[in-house]
């Protein structure tokens, strides 16, 4: 993977949970765990930590069905 990503690029990793279950504390922790896991996997594959911006959204309700709100989004900015 690192062969395709140049050092001058930025990767955004955003974790989310659904707001229908759990409370704010649980959802914030879960969404952070999702983002942290993907960040670690990128690093294992040779991506430098300084290129990765990791965020968590907590509980969201943007998508239907509810389960679609439980995700992690990775974006490569070129």
d(CA 61, CA 33): 18
Say which CATH number the domain at 60 has: 3.30.1330.60
d(CA 47, CA 29): 24
In this prediction the pTM is: 0.88
- With 80 as the cut, is the pLDDT of residue 4 above it? no
Q: How confident is the model at residue 77 (pLDDT cuts 50, 70, 90)?
A: confident
DSSP conformation letters of 5-18: S-TT-EEEEEEEEE
- With 80 as the cut, is the pLDDT of residue 62 above it? yes
Structural domain tally of the chain?
Answer: 1
Sign (positive/negative) of CA torsion 55, 22, 17, 40?
Answer: positive
Give me the domain span that covers residue 22.
Answer: 10-77
Q: What is the pLDDT of residues 24-60, one digit of tens each?
A: 999 999 999 999 999 999 999 999 999 999 999 999 9
């Amino acid at each position: 993977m690192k062969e395709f990503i140049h050092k001058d690029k930025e990767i955004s990793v955003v974790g989310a949970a659904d707001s229908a279950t759990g409370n704010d504390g649980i959802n914030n922790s879960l969404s952070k765990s999702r983002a942290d896991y993907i960040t670690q996997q990128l690093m294992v594959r040779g991506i430098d930590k300084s290129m990765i911006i990791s965020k968590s959204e907590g509980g969201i309700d943007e998508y239907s069905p509810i389960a679609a709100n439980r995700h992690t989004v990775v974006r490569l900015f070129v």
